[in-house]
A = this chain, B = another copy of it.
Amino acid sequence: METNKFCYEYPRPAVTTDCVIFGFDEGELKVLLIERGIEPYKGRWAFPGGFLNMDENSDECARRELFEETGLENVFIEQLYSFSDVDRDPRGRVITISYYALIKLADYKIQAGDDAEKAKWFPISKVPTLAFDHDRILRIAMNRLRGKIRYQPIGFELLNEKFTIPELQNLYEIILEAQLDRRNFRKKILATGLLIDHKESVKGVPHKGARYFSFDKKKYKELSERGFNFEV
């Protein structure tokens, strides 16, 4: 294969997308990391990502990478920020358009198994020092998540289709790093009118089982088009 086939009048940076993939499980917020098999940063962990193809925009690129890594499609994914420091990649000038995704970890588990690459879920608190400027990317992703969960219904993206209110509260408490009052939380979240009560409860626990709810996406879409604002 011939090399250096693509020539331009002025120098151009390489463009990649990197994706911070959040999952929530066992009362912990986690991110999916890939262990680098080659230099630079060999042996260090990094967010999955890859080069932008010429026939796709950055959203498509990020979704493609996400699919290749997790087998998941149609998940919540959003552009985060673009990083372009001159020395962020020792191999040369590489800019990255970063994204973050929220996935239902239970779905991922079905898909997982093809361990071509060494991918691993890390609880946020146990993320090691990352390759490149990915520590910074994670910090920005966490801030975005924390900010956004308060006024957009994105928490549901991290839970199963059916979830309980205590589960949801737990998720909020962990992301916001704050204790919330059980009664007030329930009141507020039910007051949105966006939860569908499935009238069935968790079975097999040695205490009263919590009721299952699901998020009414269709109703939310209608309401938000009419200027309604979700807020917790």
Q: Which residues of A contact B (CB under 8 A)?
A: 3-15, 51-52, 54-59, 79, 81-82, 84-86, 93, 95, 97
Q: Is the interface of A mostly helix, strand, loop or mixed?
A: loop
* Copies in the assembly, this chain: 2
**Which B-chain residue is minimally distant from A147 (CB atoms)?**
B151
CA distance A76 to B55 in the complex (A): 35
CA distance A17 to B184 in the complex (A): 46
CA distance A176 to B58 in the complex (A): 31
**Which B-chain residue is minimally distant from A151 (CB atoms)?**
B147
Q: Nearest Cβ distance between residue A141 and chain B, in whole angstroms?
A: 15
CA distance A10 to B7 in the complex (A): 9
Given the contacts A84-B58, A84-B97, A8 and B4 also touching, CB distance less than 8 Å: yes
List residues of chain B with CB within 8 A of the CB of A57.
84-86
**Which B-chain residue is minimally distant from A96 (CB atoms)?**
B82
**Which B-chain residue is minimally distant from A97 (CB atoms)?**
B82
Say yes or no: A81 contacts B79, CB within 8 Å.
Answer: yes
List residues of chain B with CB within 8 A of the CB of A82.
58, 79, 82, 97
Residue in B15, B59, B84, B85 whose CB lies within 8 Å of A12: B15
**Which B-chain residue is minimally distant from A93 (CB atoms)?**
B54
